Structure 1
Amino acid sequence: MRSNSKHPVDELERYIQMYLDEGWSYRKLSEEKGLLLSETAFNTKVLRYQEHGLTGIQTKRRNNHYSKEFKDSIVKEYVERGTPVRELARKYNIPSHETVRKWIIKYTKGEGLKTYSPKPEVYTMKSRKVTHDEKIKIVKACLANNLSYKEVAENILNRAFQADYNAMEVLLTDITEFKYGGHSKAYLSAILDYGENKIVAYKLSQHNNNALVRDTVTQIEDTIIPKKTLFHSDRGFQYTSHGFKQFVEKHQITQSMSRVGKCIDNGPMENFWGIIKEEMYRLTTYNSFEKLEEDINTYIEFYNTKRVTLKMGLRIPA
């Protein structure tokens, strides 16, 4: 049975660095470098490493102590935002998602968390099923002291795609994957100015990491309108990272995020991915990163300056 206990932390970190920074696939690491973790377990370690660094992959001792405040914040995010249990465990560096699941069960069954003794009326009756609204009331009663917690932005944009926007008022962003040379992957990060229907920043990389998003957003920092620009994305780790939040705060950006599992909340960005893949990518077999990058550069220039759409009333972009 495969176990990460067979890999010291420094060795596991090296595997992850080879995967993220040097383009090694899981298959090659397993077959040629002796990686013993299953693909699912390794991917989980990669995500934890990206979010928490070395501490994210270190083996935790059993019986970790978590404060009531910390447990409260996790359960509140689950109930009010619908964040999946596994994602919560990874996001807050909790070794097992089952730990999170147990906290949630205790709340939603009206048992409360250990060390917490609410008034009797906070508990729900066990003779009937607890509704979602009641679960929220339980959590809010438990969290009446307004504890702070790691925030995920609301879906402020809320699919308001029919409105007219000026340049740099509404920016949509995402990352998509391209394959080349057999089994290699490239990742394209792009920002769409929805009001102008133009790609205002993009970056192609062999690594899907925080640096990819950083190198994309820094291209527009001189054109951002403080307190007016809205930046919408999914809930990917790059957009909830400490570095990205610093960027948002520095430039006084309004951050908006799609709901969990609702790609349509970022519909125009998803539409652009469909267009570039249909009109460029699927017409050619790419054997090198350089050729893929060259064609993406050419296509985005075409999209921004020459491609005609019905929304434009058959007018060529200025």
Structure 2
Amino acid sequence: MPQKVRIALDAMGGDAGASVVIPGAAISLTRHPGTEFLLFGDRAKIDPELEQHPALRKVSRVIHTDVAVSMDDKPSQALRRGRKTSSMWLAIDAVKKGEADVAVSAGNTGALMAMARFCLRTLPGIDRPAIAAVWPTARGDSVVLDLGATIGGDAHHLFALAVMGAAMASVLFEKERPTVGLLNIGVEEIKGHEEIREAAELLRTLNLPQLEYIGFVEGDGIGKGAADVIVSEGFSGNIALKAAEGTARQMGEFLRTALSRTWLTRIGYLLARGAFKELRDKLDPNKSNGGVLLGLNGVVVKSHGGISAEGFAYAVDVGYETVHYDLLNKINRMLNRDGGALTKAQTAQEAVS
């Protein structure tokens, strides 16, 4: 494990670019002083922001490029126009070259996934990477994936997500055999698409020692903490994420309106403001920002595009902790444990078909 964690930032990514990325990095630096930064982007926009954060400036190096991937660029367009010159590509390439331990970007999700996959390649047995994040629940935290890296997926892809998610959960939650559930429209075995039912059969049949498959989980089971790991293909996973974030904001608005309606409710708020602060913190999407792109030969973290500086800081924290706890190597070891879970799954699926 490196003494210092070197983080490459796409300083032009996201809705606000450097005006959010730089102060966000400065906030994260206060929590993790053993960090160095490579800042990729337009120096004319980065330098004025750095001037306001002297501590960050001392541990940062700016690599200039005026090419940025637009939030509405198609992945193919981003690869054609931004490959080897854009701030996003250069941040990922720094990981490939060993100049950085992790890349963090708030840029276009599709472009980030395409560039990361093209530049870093995937791990053996992994066809497509996934975005995995820690999701706060009523029973603690769960790992949820895929939150929108790719759309759709066959049984082998869902099985691979389960294994990678379990490896991540075992590292983060220090559990020898994390529980895993497949997100579905019902808990009955006959429900859901064929791919989900086939993935469930693979998980039951192989009964891997590194995870405990508990069956299907409905949408409300995510918030309940029904399993340590919840697996979904990217389309459904992204909808679940956005719905949960929207509900959290809606609840916050309802609370603010209700607590300011009368003088009695205002007094009630003053008496219980500690509890309300705790609730607000739990509902704050900023504090759950930052998804790890699992399945790559390198560490890349995706931040929301429209996040605040505080929210981006949490994504940088995720990058730091992913490297600090040597997550990539530990996931590799879990994937190859006992002869290779993904190889076994592929063999079992081929035997059935």
Task: Answer yes or no: same fold by TM over 0.5.
Answer: no
Structure with more contact order per residue of length (Cα contacts < 8 Å, sep ≥ 6): 2
Which TM-score band applies after superposition, normalised by the shorter structure? under 0.3
By percentage of residues, which structure has more strand? Answer: 2
By percentage of residues, which structure has more helix? Answer: 2
How high is the TM-score relative to the length of structure 1? Answer: 0.26
